[in-house]
Amino acid sequence: MNDVMVRVENLSKLYYIGAAKQRPDTLIQSATTSFARAVRRIFDPRLARIGADQLDELWALKDVSFELKRGEVLGIIGRNGSGKSTLLKILSRVTAPTCGRVDLYGRVGSLLEVGTGFHPELTGRENVYLNGAILGMKRAEIDRVFDEIVDFSGVEKFIDTPVKHYSSGMYVRLAFAVAAHFDPEILILDEVLAVGDATFQKRSLDKMEGAARSGKTVLFVSHSLTSIARLCDRGLYLDGGRILYWGSAHATTERYLKDIHQIDEERLRAEGGRPRISYLDLRENVKRWDGSKPILTWISTHNMDGTESVEFKTGRGLRIRIGFHLNEDLSAFCNVNFLNYTGLQVMTVGVHHSRSELKLSGDGYLECVIPELLLVGGSYILMVTIGQVVSKDDKRWLDSISDTIHINVDIDDYLNGSNVSQSETSFAQRSEWQVFSP
């Protein structure tokens, strides 16, 4: 039996910047296209000078080939504009490739955008049946899993309310619940875990892990390298529409982060060797998770005496300051996650570790003090999340940035001169040993 569920061969997708350049299939389409180009030339002198045939070409994908077997989970990563979403749209039959071939051996369920297939005027209940039908579910099949869908999404109270009144989090929870209970053989997901509270994200990850264990094939795009590392066993790294790396999820995220690190180092050298920054403005040129509200404004790292630094020693203290801007009062939580260069989250410090919430308003900053940093030597990426505390068991994230300041930790002589590395463990724990005779 052939276990291949997804086969992609020499897949390419070409777009034309500034015009819809397609070969007309009919005389009417040809006339319509000619008329549209004539109108564009009136309002765009560039088209009159160079002609429509000389417009810029953009290969969103170029010669992409890979195979996935039954039960494999593929994490697709890459910078914005690398072709990730285009690949998933072609696999989901939303758009056609320019050339190449895609073979899918099984029923496909996909969730590419928040609320895809939902009608805003229909209630949540009606949209479950509508979305299920779009995915290919029979009414009896939807009836059988309807209660499970509603329970999983957590929108039972609002199931008979038009979804135009739903928050983005409620939208994605319900949409993901329908897709997850569709019971497809191939599940395609694009950044669905970027929206929703922590509880829903955990349940979604558990659901996706269960899908893989039951033999489903999953393709998953995410900027959360922690989720990729936890969920996926295969990784695909796209850059400029081409496959830059294909291998295990661990090796792929490690290559991606090393490339980011290299780009950062090259930028610093180009700027004259300026030391790695200890202050970062978060209002521009950062990658926020989809659905984020721009609350976080800046972040800085300091020694215990308050001086800015990115160089720290194991066993010494560290201060992290995080700026915020709010248009209304907020009962907030805040987390700082430490990721190593394989993308794994190795430590988290959060407000809830010492108190339930913080009352925030206007402009200000938070300060997190770590009196004794116990990470082993190496480089770490700080990921920052801020959100709303609705209740003790309901915390909803509002703004999250996965790549902020990069710090270096030197273990020095903390473990009696032993040079313990990230590949061996995450923490440096001192211990005392004695010998006893019988």
My answer on whether 30 and 82 are in the same domain is: no
Two structure tokens written together for 269? 């050298």
My answer on whether 87 and 23 are in the same domain is: no
Q: Is 388 exposed, middle or buried (0-12, 13-18, 19+ CB in 10 A)?
A: middle
Longest distance between any two alpha carbons in the chain, whole Å? 99
Amino acid letter for position 69? K
My answer on whether 79 and 47 are in the same domain is: no
My answer on whether 28 and 130 are in the same domain is: no
My answer on whether 87 and 217 are in the same domain is: yes
- Give the pLDDT of residue 18: 60
- Give the pLDDT of residue 176: 80
My answer on whether 103 and 46 are in the same domain is: no
Predicted structure pTM score: 0.59
My answer on whether 78 and 222 are in the same domain is: yes
Chain-centroid distance of CA 421 in Å reads: 27
My answer on whether 108 and 133 are in the same domain is: yes
- Give the pLDDT of residue 30: 56
My answer on whether 315 and 246 are in the same domain is: no
Residue 220 lies in a domain: yes
Per-residue pLDDT of the chain (438 residues; tens, 9 = 90+): 468 999 999 999 998 876 544 444 455 555 665 666 565 555 555 444 444 455 678 899 999 999 999 989 999 998 878 899 899 999 988 889 999 999 999 888 777 765 566 888 999 999 999 988 887 788 999 999 999 999 988 889 999 999 888 877 788 788 888 877 877 888 888 776 555 566 676 777 777 777 777 888 989 887 777 678 778 889 999 999 999 999 988 888 878 877 766 655 555 555 554 456 899 999 887 878 767 789 999 999 999 999 999 999 999 999 999 999 999 999 999 999 998 765 678 899 999 888 888 999 999 999 999 999 999 988 898 999 999 988 877 788 899 998 899 899 999 899 988 877 775 678 999 999 999 998
Q: What is the span of the domain harbouring residue 334?
A: 282-410
Phi-psi region of 295 (alpha: psi -120 to 50; beta: other; left: phi over 0): alpha
Residue 434 lies in a domain: no
My answer on whether 227 and 344 are in the same domain is: no
My answer on whether 79 and 217 are in the same domain is: yes
My answer on whether 211 and 290 are in the same domain is: no
